[in-house]
Amino acid sequence: MFPELSLCGYPPEDLLLRSSMHARISRALDSLCEEVSGIYMVVGYPWQEGDACYNKAAVIADGRLLASYAKQQLPNYRVFDEKRYFTEGNECCLLEIDGLPVAVTVCEDIWHPQPMAQARGRRCPVDAQPQCLALPYGQTARARGHAGRSRR
C-alpha cells in the first residue's frame, strides 16, 4: 500500500497542468505493471482523461492494472485545494483479492458515507459485501488530525 498520489507526491498542484507530468505517470504505471509480481499493490496517482484529471488509486498485480478508483470527496479547505485540479469520481471500486472482497477508496472519502455506501450496495462488479478497505491517504491527513481515529 502506497500513499495517495505517491507517483507524483502530494500535493502535485500546478505540475498537474503539464502534459509531460501525465506522460511520466503513464510510463510509471506501465513500469509498475511490468515489475509487480506475486503481490497486490495499491498506489496513488493522478490520471488525465480528456479535460478531467482524477486523483486515483490503482490495484496492480502480476503484470496488470486490476482496478482503479477515482477519489469522490475532494477537500477544499485549509491547505487543500483539490477541487482546483481534480474532478470527483462517481463509482466505487470493489474487487476480490484471494477470495476477500476489498473496497478501495482514497483519503477524504473515508469521512463521507457515499463511497462506502456504494461499495456496500450492489452497484459494483463483485457481488459481495466488502470485508476489507484499502485506503491510501497523503501525509497531510495526519496534519488534519484524522489519522488513527474514527468519526463513526
| Residues noted as catalytic | 4, 71, 107
Residue 109 burial (10 A CB sphere; 0-12, 13-18, 19+): buried
Beta-bridge mates of residue 42: 59
The answer to whether 3 touches 10, Cβ cutoff 8 Å, is: yes
Rounded Cα–Cα distance for residues 77 and 108 (Å): 12
Residue 67: CB atoms within 10 A of its CB come to 19
- Which grid coordinates are listed for 77? 479547505
